[in-house]
Copies of this chain bind each other. A is one copy, B any other.
Amino acid sequence: MEISTILDKIHLQIQPLLSQGKVADYIPALANVNHQEFAMAVTLNNGEFYGVGNYQQHFSIQSISKVFSFTLALRHYKKKLYRRVWREPSGDPFNSLIQLEHENGIPRNPFINAGAIVVCDSLISKAADGELALKDLLTFIRLISADDTIGIDESVASSELQHGFRNSALANLMKSFGNIDNDVEQVLTTYFKQCSVSMNCQQLSRAFLYLANHGIDPITQKQILTSAQTKRVNALMLTCGHYDASGDFAFQVGLPGKSGVGGGIVAIIPGKMSIAVYSPALNEFGNSLVGTKALELFTTYTGLSIF
Write the residues of chain A forming the contact surface with B, with a CB cutoff of 8 angstroms: 86-92, 96-99, 101-102, 108-109, 165-166, 168-170, 172-173, 175-176, 184, 230-232, 234-236, 238-240, 244-248, 250-251, 254, 256, 270, 305-307
A176-B166, A232-B251 given; A246·B89 CB < 8 A = yes
Residue pairs across A and B with Cβ atoms less than 8 A apart, 17 shown, are A87-B248, A88-B91, A91-B92, A96-B101, A97-B97, A97-B173, A109-B247, A165-B172, A168-B168, A169-B170, A231-B254, A235-B247, A236-B247, A238-B238, A239-B246, A239-B250, A306-B307
Tell me if A88 and B239 are in contact (CB < 8 A): no
- Other than A91-B99, A166-B176, A256-B307, give 19 A-B pairs with Cβ distance below 8 A: A87-B251, A88-B91, A88-B245, A88-B247, A89-B240, A89-B247, A91-B91, A97-B98, A97-B169, A97-B173, A168-B175, A230-B307, A231-B307, A232-B251, A235-B251, A238-B238, A240-B247, A270-B307, A306-B306
How far does the alpha carbon of A28 sit from the alpha carbon of B299 in the complex, in Å? 48
Q: Which of B173, B235, B245, B270 contacts A250 (CB 8 A)?
A: B235
Tell me if B169 and A244 are in contact (CB < 8 A): no
